[in-house]
Amino acid sequence: NAGVTQTPKFQVLKTGQSMTLQCAQDMNHNSMYWYRQDPGMGLRLIYYSASEGTTDKGEVPNGYNVSRLNKREFSLRLESAAPSQTSVYFCASSEHVATNEKLFFGSGTQLSVL
């Protein structure tokens, strides 16, 4: 039982390049999330998907797109990377039931945009 798996773990891009960060969970969770974390900061929500087939903007969605490919997979795309998008990206999932919002996180993708 792997939990939440993110790929790649590290990536270096040049300004203007595009890439997709992949995330998959094997816990049959309904909800999935993408966060970014900058040095010395907390996590900020980029996009989330409450259930398969739905996506919504979080706190910092500009410059990103997402796809909830199926219940297991939720990808994050940078169409034209900018240095301001240098960050560590975390994917998370939750069962989303009325009694708790217990999130399970992946190990992160460290992205550098030059």
Stretch that binds another protein, among 15-23, 33-41, 61-69, 78-86 (CB under 8 A): 33-41
Is the link from the previous residue into 8 a cis peptide, with omega within 30 of 0?
yes
Shorter beta-carbon distance to another protein: residue 17 or 86: 86
The SS3 assignment for 85 reads: helix
- Closest CB 56 distance from another protein, rounded Å: 7
Shorter beta-carbon distance to another protein: residue 85 or 109: 109
Residue from 44, 60, 61, 71 in contact with another protein (CB under 8 A): 44
Residue from 11, 52, 63, 104 in contact with another protein (CB under 8 A): 104
Q: Name the phi and psi angles at 9, rounded to 5.
A: -85, -30
Cα angle: 109, vertex 100, 39; to 5 degrees: 30
Cα-Cα-Cα-Cα torsion 63, 35, 44, 67, nearest 10 degrees, comes to 40
Contacts with another protein by CB under 8 A: the residue count is 33
- Closest CB 15 distance from another protein, rounded Å: 25
